[in-house]
Amino acid sequence: MHIDTVCRLCSSCCPIVAEVIDDKLVSARRKSMVTEQDQIVCPKLNAAPEIVSSPKRLTTPLVRDDKNAPFREVGWDEALEKVAQLMEQHKRASGAKSVAWLRGMAADWGAQWDYPNRLMHHFGSPNTIGNGSVCFVGRDMAHSYVYGSMAFPEPKASQCIIVWGKNDANTTLGAAEAILAGHKNGAQLIVIDPVQTRLARKADLWLQIKPGHDGLLAMSMINEIITQELYDKEFVSQYTLGFEELKAAAAHFPAEKIARQIWLTPEQVKKVAFLYATTKPACIVDGNGLDMHRFVFDTTRAVACLRPLTGNLDKPGGDVLPQPIPVRNIQDRHLLEDTLKPITQDYHLFNTFSPTWGNQVQGCIVDAILDHKPYPLEMVIVQSGNPVISMADSQRTREAFAQVSSLVVIDLFLTETAQLADVVLPASSCFERTQLNRSSIRNNPIVLQNAVINPVGNSWPDWKIVAGIADKLGLDKVFPWKTAEEAIDYQLETAETTVADVRNTSNCLRVEQQQYEKFTQHPFHTPSGKVEFYSARLAEVGHNPVPFAEGTMENPISFHDKSDTYPFIGISGTRDIRFTNSQFRNIPSLLNSSTGPVADIHPQDSQKLGIADGDSVKISTPKGSITMQARILEVVQPGTIRLAWGWGEYDPKANLNDLTEDDVRGPITGTSTSRSFMCNICKV
Ligand SMILES: Nc1nc2c(c(=O)[nH]1)N[C@H]1C(S)=C(S)[C@@H](COP(=O)(O)OP(=O)(O)OC[C@H]3O[C@@H](n4cnc5c(=O)[nH]c(N)nc54)[C@H](O)[C@@H]3O)O[C@H]1N2
Ligand SMILES: Nc1nc2c(c(=O)[nH]1)N[C@H]1C(S)=C(S)[C@@H](COP(=O)(O)OP(=O)(O)OC[C@H]3O[C@@H](n4cnc5c(=O)[nH]c(N)nc54)[C@H](O)[C@@H]3O)O[C@H]1N2
Ligand code: SF4
Ligand SMILES: [Mo]
pLDDT tens digits, one per residue of 454-511 = 999 999 999 999 999 999 999 999 999 999 999 999 999 998 999 998 888 877 777 7
Which CATH code fits 62-136+326-428+455-481? 3.40.50.740
- Residues in Cβ contact with 508 at an 8 Å cutoff, skipping those fewer than 6 apart: 4, 5, 6, 15, 447, 448, 449, 450, 502
Please tell me the predicted confidence (pLDDT) of residue 676: 97
30 ligand 3 Cβ < 6 A: yes
Q: Which atom of ligand 1 is nearest to the CA of 645?
A: 7
Helix residue spans in 529-671 (DSSP H) = 536-540, 588-592, 603-609
With a cut of 70, say whether residue 443 has pLDDT above it.
no
**By the 8 A CB rule, do 425 and 96 touch?**
no
Instruction: Report the percent of the chain where pLDDT is more than 90.
Output: 92
Please tell me the predicted confidence (pLDDT) of residue 495: 87
DSSP string computed for 384-398: S--HHHHSSSHHHHH
Task: Identify each DSSP E strand in 238-316 by its residue range.
Answer: 240-241, 282-286
Please tell me the predicted confidence (pLDDT) of residue 188: 98
Please tell me the predicted confidence (pLDDT) of residue 632: 98
Instruction: Report the percent of the chain where pLDDT is more than 70.
Output: 99
With a cut of 70, say whether residue 169 has pLDDT above it.
yes
Question: What's the average model confidence in pLDDT over 92-121?
Answer: 92
Protein residue with least CA distance to atom 23, ligand 1: 167
Q: Which atom of ligand 2 is nearest to the CA of 11?
A: 14
Please tell me the predicted confidence (pLDDT) of residue 442: 47
Probe target for ligand 1 pocket from 575, 581, 636, with the most ligand atoms within 8 Å of CB: 575
Q: Are strands 319-320 and 152-153 parallel, antiparallel or unpaired?
A: antiparallel
Q: Per-residue confidence at 236, pLDDT binned at 50, 70, 90?
A: very high
Q: Is the peptide bond before 374 cis (omega within 30 degrees of 0)?
A: yes
| CA nearest to 110, candidates 176, 13, 5 | 13
Pairwise CA distance, residues 128 & 44, whole Å? 30
- For residue 115, which phi and psi values (nearest 5 degrees)? -60, -50
Question: In one letter, which amino acid is 262?
Answer: I
With a cut of 90, say whether residue 76 has pLDDT above it.
yes
Please tell me the predicted confidence (pLDDT) of residue 503: 87
**By the 8 A CB rule, do 208 and 194 touch?**
yes
With a cut of 80, say whether residue 444 has pLDDT above it.
no
Please tell me the predicted confidence (pLDDT) of residue 360: 96
Cβ neighbourhood burial of 371 (10 Å; 0-12, 13-18, 19+)? exposed
Please tell me the predicted confidence (pLDDT) of residue 105: 86
For residue 117, the 8-state DSSP code is: H
Pairwise CA distance, residues 612 & 609, whole Å? 9
Question: What's the average model confidence in pLDDT over 297-305?
Answer: 98
Please tell me the predicted confidence (pLDDT) of residue 106: 76
| CA nearest to 250, candidates 550, 633, 675, 632 | 550
Helix (H/G/I), strand (E/B), else coil: 188: strand
Helix residue spans in 3-71 (DSSP H) = 43-46, 48-52
Q: Per-residue confidence at 107, pLDDT binned at 50, 70, 90?
A: low
**CA triple 676-606-258, angle to 5 deg:** 45
Q: Which CATH number fits domain 152-320+522-540: 3.90.1720.10, 3.40.1350.10, 1.10.3980.10, 3.40.228.10?
A: 3.40.228.10
437 ligand 1 Cβ < 6 A: no
Question: What's the average model confidence in pLDDT over 614-625?
Answer: 98
Please tell us whether the domain made up of 560-683 is placed in CATH 3.40.50.300: no
Helix (H/G/I), strand (E/B), else coil: 196: coil
Residue 613: CB atoms within 10 Å: 13
Q: Which atom of ligand 3 is nearest to the CA of 173?
A: 1
**By the 8 A CB rule, do 464 and 482 touch?**
no
Q: Please tell me the distance between residue 215's alpha carbon and the centre of ligand 4 in angstroms.
A: 20
Q: Are strands 188-192 and 205-207 parallel, antiparallel or unpaired?
A: parallel
Question: In one letter, which amino acid is 225?
Answer: I
**By the 8 A CB rule, do 87 and 75 touch?**
no
434 ligand 1 Cβ < 6 A: no
Question: In one letter, which amino acid is 322?
Answer: P
Query: Which ligand is closest to the CA of 419, given by its number?
Result: 2
Pairwise CA distance, residues 199 & 623, whole Å? 33
Question: What's the average model confidence in pLDDT over 597-612?
Answer: 98
Protein residue with least CA distance to atom 13, ligand 2: 135
Beginning with the edge strand found earlier in the chain, give each strand of the sheet holding 24-30 in spatial order. Answer: 2-6, 15-21, 24-30
Question: What's the average model confidence in pLDDT over 445-461?
Answer: 93
Protein residue with least CA distance to atom 37, ligand 2: 384
Q: Which atom of ligand 2 is nearest to the CA of 410?
A: 38
Q: Per-residue confidence at 13, pLDDT binned at 50, 70, 90?
A: confident
Question: In one letter, which amino acid is 271?
Answer: K
82 ligand 3 Cβ < 6 A: no
Q: Which of 239-248, 349-358, 394-403 has the lowest mean pLDDT?
A: 349-358
Q: Per-residue confidence at 663, pLDDT binned at 50, 70, 90?
A: very high
HSE value, Cβ hemisphere, 13 Å, CA-based, for 297 = 25
Q: Which of 136-140, 374-378, 501-505 has the lowest mean pLDDT?
A: 501-505
- pTM here is 0.97
Residues of the chain with CATH 3.40.228.10: 152-320+522-540
Question: What's the average model confidence in pLDDT over 354-376?
Answer: 96
105 ligand 3 Cβ < 6 A: no
Please tell me the predicted confidence (pLDDT) of residue 276: 98
The larger pLDDT score, comparing residue 501 to residue 106, is at 501
| CA nearest to 381, candidates 433, 346, 418 | 418
Pairwise CA distance, residues 496 & 142, whole Å? 31
Residues of the chain with CATH 2.40.40.20: 560-683
Q: Are strands 624-632 and 598-601 parallel, antiparallel or unpaired?
A: parallel
Residues of the chain with CATH 3.40.50.740: 62-136+326-428+455-481
Question: What's the average model confidence in pLDDT over 665-681?
Answer: 96
580 ligand 1 Cβ < 6 A: yes
Q: Per-residue confidence at 148, pLDDT binned at 50, 70, 90?
A: very high
With a cut of 90, say whether residue 547 has pLDDT above it.
yes
